[in-house]
């Protein structure tokens, strides 16, 4: 993965006049169970390589997902005015969070805000707090299958990239996906039940986040070309073991698909390009009968428009819902009480929750009963992510920003519903008074 | 009877993880009856260099799909793949393009 990014980098430098690229390196060693010494060593290598490239760069550790504001998951509209406001909000939230962290004595985020186009004045990167590393390890060890682990890693990485891009004012994120990888990803995503989002997940540009567009400039090149290019131009590369390194072929759907595609490719050399061309023909169309509006619900994790149709219970989703049902029954009736719709006590709680943001809300969340957040989170996921989350033994170890956003969204929906009830009543009353 | 050959074998892109993390190996292939080709080199590597999980490097009598082979910086597909006859001082490079090496 990394050498593609580096290769992209060597191309970027030729185009520096047209745009100012920055490089983000997401350090995910903790998810793979690597020791801090190993990670520091790799990080130093990466830093040296990036430094020699002379571009501004940011290095973030995957642990930082535990410090992300929930606004990362919100769809920001493309209108510059609205986007700016929301973005500033996000930045302010982030800075405040950093200050809070700093005063608490914990090490702050190792990504100072840089002015674009200047070589990075970044000092030595401090390792992330041990507590966050622990939380991350706990999260990944609670995932039962490698497939789900890889998906989760990808999701968290995307959120982190999005956050870095927003806080540093980048409008584009360039991914290093090659044509071979995209062909593999296409088939993998199909197998994972993410067929509805193929055009977003594998297309050239991905506008699902609104303000930050993800582009894949490397998609015209095969992995072989990239590898040969790197070899012939002696592009410096740093190798980082990933979560699936040395895993057997059938360990995850990702691995299996990779082996399948490459094996086919070995016998029929046009396999990859055929699959890839197919992905090119996919059109990002909204669902039939639905207007493409920003207000339509988005998946909490992959941020795509929700594809789940609750009314259509004859589909696979219907089966899923019945699977989830037993888990929704709490061990004690108290646990479900706060989430029950309607009733003045629940309303009061909603309001307090909506007003609160930041650490206090997180504390509030952690005090929730164990079974509490699960249905809320699951309801806000697309089909592919739901299937994935089934492999999580518990949702508690998820980063707080996901849980709090889920909480916020469900409360918002609930409040909207309540307001609507009142509105109808009001209008009826008005009607009656008007008539009398 | 082929004479002993000195060949440089190199691994990259994560393939070196299966070889104790060592990228470059300068090896001397002993003399044998048939001339040394890539096919017999792979057998020799599997026996002498490979440290773990041979199935992640070799599949059948060839390398796993997704691992590129360069002989003297040229694609082995141009040189007859497994039937290429090794010369003295050749360099053979294996690059894994598989995700995660």
pLDDT digits (tens, 9 = 90+) for A397-408: 777 777 777 778
Facing residue for A227 by CB, picked from B13, B18, B101: B13
d(CA B65, CA B59): 8
Interface test with B, best of A151, A231, A232, A247 (most B CBs within 10 A): A231
- pLDDT digit string (tens) for A300-343? 777 777 665 544 444 444 444 444 444 444 444 443 344 434 43
Is the pLDDT confidence value at B68 over 60?
Answer: yes
pLDDT attached to residue A431: 52
What is each CA distance from A61 to A27, A65, A74, A102, A214, in whole angstroms? Answer: 4, 8, 22, 17, 20
pLDDT at A413: 80
Comparing CB atoms, the residue among B12, B73, B101 nearest residue A241 is: B101
What is the reported pTM? 0.67
Is the pLDDT confidence value at A93 over 60?
no
Task: State the Cα–Cα distance between residues B68 and A42, nearest whole angstrom.
Answer: 24
Does A187 or A215 have the greater pLDDT score? A187
pLDDT at A364 over 80: no
Q: What is the mean pLDDT of residues A372-401?
A: 73
The more confidently predicted of residues B7 and A45 is B7
Q: Across A111-115, A352-356, B83-87, which has the greatest mean pLDDT?
A: B83-87
Indicate yes or no: CB of A245 within 8 angstroms of CB of B55: no
Per-window interface: A 262-281 vs B, CB < 8 A? 262-263, 265-266
pLDDT at A80 over 60: no
Cβ contacts of A241 on chain B, cutoff 8 Å = 14, 17, 100-101
pLDDT exceeds 50 at position A369: no
Which of A224, A246, A266 comes nearest B97 by C-beta? A224
> Between A296 and A250, whose confidence is greater?
A250
Could you give the CA distance from residue A373 to residue A70 in angstroms, rounded to a whole number?
A: 15
Chain B residues lying within 8 Å of A242, measured CB to CB: 99-101
More confident residue, A429 or A191: A191
Q: What is the pLDDT of residue B34?
A: 81
Higher pLDDT, B42 or A101: B42
Q: Say yes or no: A149 contacts chain B, CB-CB below 8 A.
A: no
> For position A264, what pLDDT does the model report?
86
Pick from B13, B17, B66: CB nearest A262: B66
Q: Check if A346 contacts B (Cβ < 8 Å).
A: no
A360-372 mean pLDDT: 43
pLDDT at A54: 56
- What's the full length of chain B, in residues? 101
By the 8 A CB rule, do A89 and A71 touch?
A: yes
Burial label for A268, CB within 10 Å (0-12, 13-18, 19+), is exposed
> Picking from A135-149, A287-301, A333-347, A388-402, which range would have the lowest pLDDT averaged per residue?
A333-347
Is a pLDDT exceeding 80 seen at residue A14? no
Among A328, A342, A313, A408, smallest CA distance to A375 is for A328
Question: Does residue A190 carry a pLDDT above 80?
Answer: yes
Could you tell me which residue, A131 or B88, shows the higher pLDDT?
Answer: B88
Half-sphere exposure of B39 (CA within 13 A, CB side): 9
Average pLDDT, chain A: 62
The full DSSP string for A108-134 is --S-----TTS-----PPPPPPHHHHH
**Cβ within 8 Å, pair A239-B73:** no
- Mean pLDDT, residues A2-6 taken together: 51
Does A417 or A42 have the greater pLDDT score? A417
Three-state SS string over B13-42 comes to CCHHHHHCCCCEEEEEECCECCCCEHHHHH
- As given in the structure block, the two tokens for residue A264 are 């086919």
Per-residue confidence (pLDDT) for residue B21, from 0 to 100: 77
* Residue A148 pLDDT class (50, 70, 90 cuts): confident
Q: What is the pLDDT of residue A317?
A: 47
If one compares A357 and B44, the residue with the highest pLDDT of the two is B44
Angle between helices A344-355 and A400-435 (to 10 degrees): 130
Contact assessment for residue A8 and residue A218, using Cβ atoms and an 8 Å cutoff: yes
């Amino acid at each position: 993965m990394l050498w593609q990014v580096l290769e992209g980098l060597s191309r970027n430098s030729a185009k520096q006049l047209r745009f100012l690229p920055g490089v983000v390196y997401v350090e995910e060693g903790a998810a793979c169970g690597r020791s801090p010494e190993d990670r520091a060593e790799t990080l130093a290598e990466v830093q040296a390589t990036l430094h020699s490239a002379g571009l501004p760069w940011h290095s973030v550790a995957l642990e930082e997902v535990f410090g992300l504001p929930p606004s990362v998951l919100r769809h920001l509209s493309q209108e510059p005015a609205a986007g700016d406001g929301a973005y500033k909000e996000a930045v302010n939230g982030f800075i405040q969070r950093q200050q809070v962290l700093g005063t608490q004595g914990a090490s702050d985020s190792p990504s100072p805000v840089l002015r674009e186009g200047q070589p990075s004045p970044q000092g030595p990167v401090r390792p992330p707090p041990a507590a966050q590393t622990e939380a991350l390890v706990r999260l990944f060890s609670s995932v039962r299958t490698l497939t789900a682990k890889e998906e989760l890693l990808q999701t968290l990485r995307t959120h982190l990239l999005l956050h870095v891009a927003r806080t540093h004012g980048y409008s584009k994120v360039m991914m290093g996906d090659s044509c071979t990888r995209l062909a593999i990803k296409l088939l993998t995503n199909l197998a994972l039940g993410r067929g509805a989002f193929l055009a977003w997940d594998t297309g050239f540009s991905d506008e699902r986040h609104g303000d930050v567009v993800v582009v894949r400039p490397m998609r015209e090149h095969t992995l072989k070309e990239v590898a040969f290019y790197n070899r012939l131009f002696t592009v410096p590369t740093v190798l980082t073991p990933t979560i699936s390194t040395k895993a057997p072929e059938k360990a995850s759907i990702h691995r299996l698909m990779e082996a399948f595609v490459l094996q086919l490719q070995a016998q029929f050399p046009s396999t990859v390009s055929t699959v890839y061309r197919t992905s090119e023909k996919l059109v990002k169309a909204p669902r039939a009968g639905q207007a493409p509006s920003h207000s339509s619900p988005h998946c909490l994790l992959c941020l795509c428009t929700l594809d789940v149709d609750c009314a259509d219970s004859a589909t696979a989703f219907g089966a899923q819902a019945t699977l989830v049902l037993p888990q929704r029954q709490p061990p004690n009736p108290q646990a479900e009480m706060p989430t029950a719709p309607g009733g003045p006590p629940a309303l009061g709680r909603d309001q307090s929750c909506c007003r609160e943001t930041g650490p206090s809300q997180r504390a509030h969340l952690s005090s929730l009963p164990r079974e509490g957040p699960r249905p809320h989170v699951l309801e806000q996921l697309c089909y592919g992510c739901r299937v994935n989350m089934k492999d999580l033994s518990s949702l508690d170890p998820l980063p707080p920003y996901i849980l709090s956003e889920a909480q916020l969204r469900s409360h918002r929906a609930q409040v909207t519903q309540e307001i609507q009830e009142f509105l109808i009543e009001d209008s009826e009353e008005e009607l009656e008074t008007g008539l009398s | 009877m082929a004479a002993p050959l000195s060949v440089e074998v190199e691994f990259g892109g994560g393939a070196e993880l299966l070889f104790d993390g060592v990228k470059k190996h300068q090896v001397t292939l002993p003399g044998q009856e048939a001339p040394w080709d890539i096919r017999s080199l792979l057998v020799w590597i599997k026996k002498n260099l490979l440290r773990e999980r041979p199935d992640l490097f070799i599949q059948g009598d060839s390398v796993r799909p997704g691992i590129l082979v360069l002989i003297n910086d040229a694609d082995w597909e141009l040189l007859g793949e497994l039937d290429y006859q090794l010369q003295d001082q050749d360099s053979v490079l294996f690059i894994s393009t598989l995700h995660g090496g």
